[in-house]
Amino acid sequence: MTTTAPTVGGRAIALAHYAGRAVLETVLSRHGATFQQSVALRVVALADGPVERDQVVEQVVGALKNDEADARRTIGELIADGLVAGDGSRLRITDAGRELYSRVTAETGEISARIYAGIPAADLEAAGRVLARVTERADAELAMLKG
């Protein structure tokens, strides 16, 4: 019996994405946060200091392919929840935001380690190259569709 390796396509990528996202959303829900909030919080948490609100919006829109109003609403939620503080057009992470980010990152890091355990580094590198190219091409197609 001959087994052929599966090829990567939209369905395989989507199934992997949604499986991983479901894990993350389960962890986030235990902390009262949403996926969109985690994406925005990450941008602020990884900044070297206060970051321009428009930069956060741009990165969230770029990552999630949502619209600017959704990204701004999500930032408003983070401010209302005390996870991010706004000083005019600049945002900074609060102690509560840093604690949430650290907890979620630690929990999901442990889970990710189990998910990726035993997969050869060369396979992960090849998958990373393929996914980067697919993302680049899909972003270009989306830009053309939006005109």
**Crossing angle of the two packed helices 10-30 and 95-116, in degrees rounded to 10:** 140
Strands 51-52 and 84-87: unpaired
What pLDDT shows up at residue 3? 64
- Report how far residue 39's alpha carbon sits from residue 5's, in angstroms, rounded to the nearest whole number: 33
What's the farthest any 2 CA atoms get from each other in the chain? 66
CB 90 within 8 A of CB 53: yes
Residue 130, φ and ψ in degrees, nearest 5? -65, -45
Domain chopping of the chain, boundaries: 10-116
- Report how far residue 49's alpha carbon sits from residue 45's, in angstroms, rounded to the nearest whole number: 9
Q: Please check whether the domain covering 10-116 is classified as CATH 1.10.10.10.
A: yes
The contacts of residue 20 (CB under 8 Å, 6+ apart) are 115
What pLDDT shows up at residue 6? 75
What pLDDT shows up at residue 141? 96
What pLDDT shows up at residue 5? 74
First to last CA, the chain: 49
Residue 133, φ and ψ in degrees, nearest 5? -70, -40
pLDDT in tens, the chain (147 residues): 556 777 889 999 999 999 999 999 999 999 999 999 999 999 999 999 999 999 999 999 999 999 999 999 999 999 999 999 998 899 999 999 999 999 999 999 999 999 999 999 999 999 999 999 999 999 999 999 998
CB 56 within 8 A of CB 39: no
